[in-house]
């Protein structure tokens, strides 16, 4: 069966899982998510995608992260051009043990690697998404050049065109991009990234495990995921980092490079939401320049 234009999450779940549904509950604060109970007692999360490529990218990303056998991610139960059905994660509370395990698991995920910087997950599209924003997964071999061209510059230009960023503010970010080869730290192999690792995509499960949802998965620099955790806050972050460092110690000076890696998400937010994100992007750029070698 195929979807019809008026189909709701309950009907989509039934069609894509092959199970009859017994209850549907819209999740508060989100117009595109619902929990649907199936006739076998399981509950799934049904998400209305922002177009076929967005659904395809998210489903491929979840499968790619799961294939690393490192972090916990919800199983994909069904998908089409409009809907994604995944396993529901019973909620729990942040705990020290779970945070340590998450840090170790995140290090193992990154170590699973990727074919190149910008490489999409197997079966994933080049024209992917990060939240509500477009994100192109174009492979490259050199992280500083790839990051500047395919992550920062598209949003820097858009922010300028939209008037969300002044020319003088953009000049600070452009200075970081010119100096990326020296500011980026030691060369690292492409890591398997979640890609949108803000606190809202980190679920503390009732099984005392951390689960990751809504990936913008691609090959990238492992410090990017960690910088996202710092940017929007993560409970027990000190313990997460402790667990990470036990498994895969970070290169010296990694904390000084957080601002470099935060430029992309901050510029995405500048374009989408405006507000104070432009000032935060400029502040991150200045922090990166302040920690870099003197010119």
Catalytic residues: 196
Q: Report how far apart, in Å, the C-alpha atoms of 15 and of each of 2, 8, 81, 85 are.
A: 8, 11, 13, 10
Could you give the CA distance from residue 28 to residue 159 in angstroms, rounded to a whole number? Answer: 31
Burial 86-120 (b: 16+ CB within 10 A, else e): bbebeebebeeebbbbbbbbbbbbbeeebebbbbb
DSSP 280: H
DSSP state letters, 160-229: HHHTSS-HHHHHHHHHHHHTHHHHS-S--PPEEE-S---GGGEEEBTTS-EEE-S---EEE-HHHHHHHH
Among all chains, which residue has been given the structure tokens 């499968």? 63
| Residue 25 CB coordination number (10 Å) | 13
């Amino acid at each position: 069966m195929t979807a019809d234009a008026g189909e709701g999450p309950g009907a989509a779940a039934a069609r894509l899982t092959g199970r009859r549904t017994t209850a549907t509950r819209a999740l508060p604060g989100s117009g595109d998510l619902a929990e649907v109970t199936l006739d076998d007692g399981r509950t799934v999360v049904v998400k209305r995608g922002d177009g076929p490529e967005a659904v395809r990218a998210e489903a491929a990303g979840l499968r790619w992260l799961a294939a690393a056998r490192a972090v916990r991610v919800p199983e994909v139960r069904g998908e089409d051009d409009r809907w994604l059905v995944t396993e529901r994660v019973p909620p729990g509370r942040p705990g020290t043990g779970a945070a340590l395990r998450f840090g170790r698991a995140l290090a193992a995920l990154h170590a699973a690697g990727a074919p190149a910087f910008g490489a999409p997950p197997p079966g994933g599209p080049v024209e992917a998404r990060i939240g509500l924003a477009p994100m192109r997964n174009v492979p490259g071999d050199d992280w500083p050049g790839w990051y500047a061209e395919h992550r920062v510059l598209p949003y820097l230009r858009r922010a300028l065109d939209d008037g969300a960023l002044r020319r003088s503010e953009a000049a600070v970010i452009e200075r970081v991009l010119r100096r990326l080869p020296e500011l980026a730290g030691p060369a690292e192999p492409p890591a398997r990234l979640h890609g949108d690792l803000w606190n809202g995509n980190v679920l503390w499960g009732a099984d005392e495990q951390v689960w990751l949802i809504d990936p913008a998965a691609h090959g990238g620099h492992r410090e990017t995921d960690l910088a996202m955790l710092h940017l929007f806050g993560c409970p027990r972050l000190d313990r997460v980092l402790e667990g990470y460092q036990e498994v895969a110690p970070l290169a010296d000076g990694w904390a000084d490079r957080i601002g470099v890696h935060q430029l992309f998400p901050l510029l995405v937010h500048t374009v989408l939401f405006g507000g104070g994100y432009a000032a935060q992007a400029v502040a991150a750029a200045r922090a990166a320049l302040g920690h870099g070698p003197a010119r």
